[in-house]
Structure 1
Amino acid sequence: MKARPAAPRRRRSFAAGAAAVLGLSLLPWAGVAAVTPSAAQPGPVPVQLLALNDLHGNLDPVDGPAGSVSRITESGDVVRSQAGGVAGLATLLKDAREGQQNTLTVGAGDLIGGSPLLSANFHDEPTIDALEELGLDVASVGNHEFDEGPDELLRIAHGGCHPADGCAVPDEPYDGADFPYLAANVTRKGSAEPLLPPYWIKTLPGGERIGFIGLITRHAPDVISAARIRDVEFHDEVETVERYSRELTEMGVAAQTVLIHEGGAHGDSVPYNEDCDDGGPGAKLGQPIRTLAESFPPDVDVIVSGHSHEPYVCTVPDPAGDPRVVTQAASFGRTYTDLRFALDPGTGDVLRGTVEAANHPVLTATPQDPAMAKLIGTWRERSAELEKKPVGYITDDLPGRGSTAPERPLGGVIADGQVEATRGNGAEIAMIQPGGIRADLTYTSSGDEGDGVVTYAEAFRVSPFETGLVTMTLTGDQLVEVLRQGFSGANEDRARFMQPSAALSYAVDLRLSGGARLDASSVRVAGQPVVADREYRVTVNEFLAEGGNGFTEFKDGTDRRGGDMTDTAALVSYLQSASSPQSPLAPPSPARIEVRE
């Protein structure tokens, strides 16, 4: 199977050269003089774009299913391989640039945030260093760029030491990212000015220009802790792109690309080389990116997306009916996208008939780039003692992020740890959303600690947010409604099976739709049917407690107590108390969620 759609594709690329960050005329970064494209060009100008998204600070490969990619072979079989690792990615990007006249490397958000200890221990400065070494030219923000709030994002973009933890390297103030972060549709409340530049213009050696508009899904507040973004607003994507596309056009920038942190779901474990247009243009491209891609103005030539973590290369018709390519690479650096196209030397616009694109895997066997390996090794030395500390022992794999089953063994372990950590607040049960599980715990060691040993770094990678836990009171009716919201409202199209602690169980009928999928009569606490007006003490992370991921019923919980334990600390504490070398922890039996099909 090929990853190319039936319609022609493009490829974006930019060579080193002068770059200008441009915004609204009233903004402080505006005012860079426009450059008139060169009139003398021997023929179409080739351009290459290398794209990545949702790296989440994973400088090393991710273990287990979450770190694998699928490929369709010529015989039609699907083969899975382990992938990832920024040192290998650096090697492949250098190879991809060989022989190309104009190459640019771009990102579509969530490059940092939700990161493993190696990066998170230093507030993701190691990942910014690595992205600079990769040659990243420009990136849009994603929801995880806001994990520590807008002020920390501005520090990451512009430099300065962390206000609480100081300089990651003593006496060496962090100097900020050497690439622009774009946030066209993010403003402070009450302001019309974007938090970061709305677009960036690349001028090629021949004078041709390409504009990049960077933005994030307007639904970002649904997946960011509300406490972190109280003074920030996220605006409509289509209106935003129309505004800045028009501004670029008025400046004479005909070639335009959108970098957007929003994607589409079209199945679990999608092969990176699947033909997205098999059955028609964009036949397998999911929502909401499909509607956005069909709605952005025709002057936009290419759309690079992120957020849903699924690799695809698709075409959709723009409002003028012309085919337009939409791409996304897999998360965690497992694949990258290579797009190529040509510019008309007269108009500077993209020749859409020349566009081609494909996703390529970053297999773990890829030779490591020496400079990148050295950079990562330097950061690793600074946190090696903490990373290698044993915190638990397991008898078998505990699938989490890489699991496609409704009940994930690692989800149960995390929830059990959270309820144990908050018994002092009266907790009876705990729940965690699937997206809060960032990796798998594997029995086979990838280091020198030995099989079955869980290190602090491995536990942190599973639960990296260090988000506070909140214990609240819910009535039985509210508890049922929380579980129902996993299949209705914001989760109508993509069910979220809340992962319960041992005392909570429920049943779901997948033959039904919406909230009806939850069998309310099946909900039990400590083996007893839930009682509508009885009060239960429930622990969740702060993100859920504020209504995140569409679980708005949590916002009505009463008698809230928290602040003395984080999700990360709860997992580490549970692994330490519930396991030992002589008595390792076994996967919980799959009896908490019953699925009827």
Structure 2
Amino acid sequence: MRIAFALLATSLLPACAGQLAHAPEETGPVTVKIVAFNDFHGNLEAPKRSIEAPGRVAGETVQVPAGGAAYFASAIEELRSRNPNNAVVAAGDLIGASPLVSALFLDEPTIAALNLIRVDYNALGNHEFDKGSAEILRMQNGGCDKHSLRQPCRLEPFAGARFRLLSANTLTQSGATLVEPYGIKSFGSGARAVKVGFIGLTLKEAPSLVTPAGVAGLTFGDEADAANALVPKLKAEGADAIVILIHQGAATKVGYDDKSCEGLSGEILPILDRLDPTIDVVVSGHTHNAYVCDYGKVNPARPFLLTSAGYGGTLITDLDLVIDPAANRVVSKRADNVIVQGEAFTSSKGPVPLTDLYPRYAAQPQVAALVARYAAAAAPVAAERVGRLSAPALRTKTDWGEQVLGNLIADAQLAATRTPEAGGAEIAFMNMYGIRADLEPAADGTITYGQVFTVQPFGNTLMVKSFTGRQVRAILEQQFDSGSNSVESPNFLNPSASLRYAYDLKRPAGQRIVDVRVNGQPLQDDRVYRVAMSNFLASGGDNFTRFRDGTDVVGGISDLDALVAYLGRQEVLTPPAADRTARR
């Protein structure tokens, strides 16, 4: 009997096993978490910035100290821990215009930190092109080939990015994309397997924001056309959702996590209005603004979720897509911008303490150790005193468009190029968007090399060109009428003390600049003037295309060296007044 029972039981096992193997799989929607950010700009150390956020009671606000790569890493880890189906993506400018701790080492430590954070994809921004396409490929593939004045691999070998750099609209002379145009990441398995496609896009205006050498041999196609052409391909490869990572952006009139889209504006809007409506999310950047907007409120035919996480690693976007694998589509989506609360600090307005109103993040040990190692290597250079200021020189723009720090930099550039052998400059101009931080002296007035580097981290060189007075006037007119420079959104130039002028926005285009004086004398249309500027401006950057018209070019020292030398000329330097421009 025992033998017979055993045989009977054995004979039943295959049937039972077969029933278990073919048990119905779990079905239903799958949630994918996407953690997104943009414009990190090599901010490895806590940047001493804060986010204005709602306080304890309605109408009250609090400043929350934010940023720092080690805290950034912990915040991302915490979000990832909520859902194993996750991806970490970025919308460009992760490197370039970086603080000294990253820039001194060609942003290699920033790439290493992002590897530890396990980023999946990043769309190329304009600053990734600061040192040219060969350096972009080194950032991707690693190695120690030298493509700039600075020495690669100064501290350790460079392995390159373990995440993929994407740009569907950056083309080489052969017509191929410089880097991969898109990536697809899979989540889950069986009946609940889903795929999300990520398309990278670089703003097509990149050539106007980068020196010519940075984009030599490249063309930048229309963003919407490039994305739309890839949608059928991604669908054919099984993508259930499509996310655009684009280095172009917007502005709103509301807070960093307000969902109302109030006052949404910017150069990304015409792109959005032409995108394939089946796209689900647009992660954006470039403007350094923070927003979460259901674009369907603006254009019902384009119900994208539009996000941006500010800049410098102070915010991250926590985004959830609920995907129905049976229907191959997103059935719901939500996003929030999360403050990366890091270290308390003291600003020019007083202490900015940590707060319990928002999550606090511990420093992630591996990233913290990486940052500490590079900070220690950079410290001797950063701490060197280069001069003293009697008061802060700020980049805050006046109502009429001047910046005290911009004027100071223009004066420094004129001083560096005034002698005949240096170009014989009579005038200098500094573009306001090329100034990346304030110069705030210590109690004894000290300004360090690290501070100056943070102000001007691009490694631009000075150039002197000849222009007629008529051409100088045309350059000034382009502040209000060239590309994105407009009366509504002017892009001001800071002049050296040798040039003063007024403008009247009620006058027609081409006639807005009035009463230009050089060294106290009226500008003469037919006289030739020698003008100093950075090589960025000299090549037409920031839409100042008339700078290209100059002749008799003389190259000079770096803009950084010019400012360092100027700060050291006097025992204590007094910042200039903002009185060189007048609005009528």
Letter in 2 for 1:419: L
8 Å contact kept, 1:521–1:529? no
Letter in 1 for 2:58: S
Shift of 1:460: 0.5
Secondary structure in structure 2 of the residue aligned to 1:75: coil
Match runs of 1:112-511 below 5 Å: 112-163=95-146, 167-169=152-154, 172-189=156-173, 191-206=174-189, 207-266=193-252, 271-278=255-262, 284-317=263-296, 321=301, 323-351=303-331, 353-365=332-344, 366=360, 367-400=362-395, 406-424=401-419, 425-444=423-442, 452-490=445-483, 491-492=485-486, 493-509=488-504
Letter in 2 for 1:220: A
Would you identify which runs of 4 or more consecutive aligned residues in structure 1 move more than 6 Å? 401-405
For 1:60, the equivalent position in structure 2 comes to 45
Letter in 1 for 2:27: P
What does the per-residue CA deviation read over 1:1-31, in whole Å, with 9 as the maximum and x for residues that have no partner?
xxxxxxxxxxxxxxxxxxxxxxxxxxxxxxx
Secondary structure in structure 2 of the residue aligned to 1:71: strand
C-alpha distance in structure 1 between counterparts of 2:291 and 2:448, whole Å: 34
Shift of 1:513: 7.3
Aligned residues: 533
Letter in 2 for 1:350: V
8 Å contact kept, 1:315–1:326? yes
C-alpha distance in structure 2 between counterparts of 1:40 and 1:590, whole Å: 70
Shift of 1:148: 0.4
8 Å contact kept, 1:398–1:441? yes
Letter in 1 for 2:431: Q
Secondary structure in structure 2 of the residue aligned to 1:461: helix
Shift of 1:540: 0.4
Shift of 1:510: 5.0
Secondary structure in structure 1 of the residue aligned to 2:569: helix
Cα distance change of structure 1 residues 474 and 167 upon mapping to structure 2, 3 Å threshold:
closer
C-alpha distance in structure 2 between counterparts of 1:525 and 1:62, whole Å: 39
Matched, 1:71 2:29: no
Shift of 1:590: 1.7
For 2:29, the equivalent position in structure 1 comes to 44
For 2:536, the equivalent position in structure 1 comes to 543
What does the per-residue CA deviation read over 1:417-476, in whole Å, with 9 as the maximum and x for residues that have no partner?
1000111211111111111101111235xxxxx653211111011011111111111111
C-alpha distance in structure 2 between counterparts of 1:274 and 1:319, whole Å: 18
Letter in 1 for 2:209: V
For 1:16, the equivalent position in structure 2 comes to none
8 Å contact kept, 2:273–2:302? no
What does the per-residue CA deviation read over 1:236-282, in whole Å, with 9 as the maximum and x for residues that have no partner?
11111011111001122121100000112446xx631344424xxxx
8 Å contact kept, 1:313–1:359? no
Letter in 2 for 1:569: D
Identity %: 38
Shift of 1:87: 1.8
8 Å contact kept, 1:41–1:345? no
C-alpha distance in structure 2 between counterparts of 1:211 and 1:308, whole Å: 24
- Farther off after superposition, 69-78 or 368-377: 69-78
Secondary structure in structure 2 of the residue aligned to 1:112: coil
For 2:577, the equivalent position in structure 1 comes to 589
Shift of 1:378: 0.8
Letter in 2 for 1:371: Q
Using structure 1 for the length normalisation, give the TM-score.
0.84
Higher-Rg member (1/2): 2
Cα distance change of structure 1 residues 48 and 576 upon mapping to structure 2, 3 Å threshold:
same
Letter in 2 for 1:508: Y
C-alpha distance in structure 2 between counterparts of 1:359 and 1:511, whole Å: 43
8 Å contact kept, 2:71–2:340? no
Shift of 1:570: 0.7
Q: Unpaired runs of 5+ in structure 2?
A: 1-23, 345-359
Q: Unpaired runs of 5+ in structure 1?
A: 1-38, 279-283, 445-449
Corresponding residue to 1:569 among 561, 566, 579: 561
Letter in 1 for 2:30: V
Cα distance change of structure 1 residues 70 and 592 upon mapping to structure 2, 3 Å threshold:
farther
8 Å contact kept, 1:401–1:435? no
What does the per-residue CA deviation read over 1:491-531, in whole Å, with 9 as the maximum and x for residues that have no partner?
11421110111111222345667555x3x222221122211
C-alpha distance in structure 1 between counterparts of 2:510 and 2:366, whole Å: 52
What does the per-residue CA deviation read over 1:293-342, in whole Å, with 9 as the maximum and x for residues that have no partner?
22211221100001111111112239882521111111112222111221
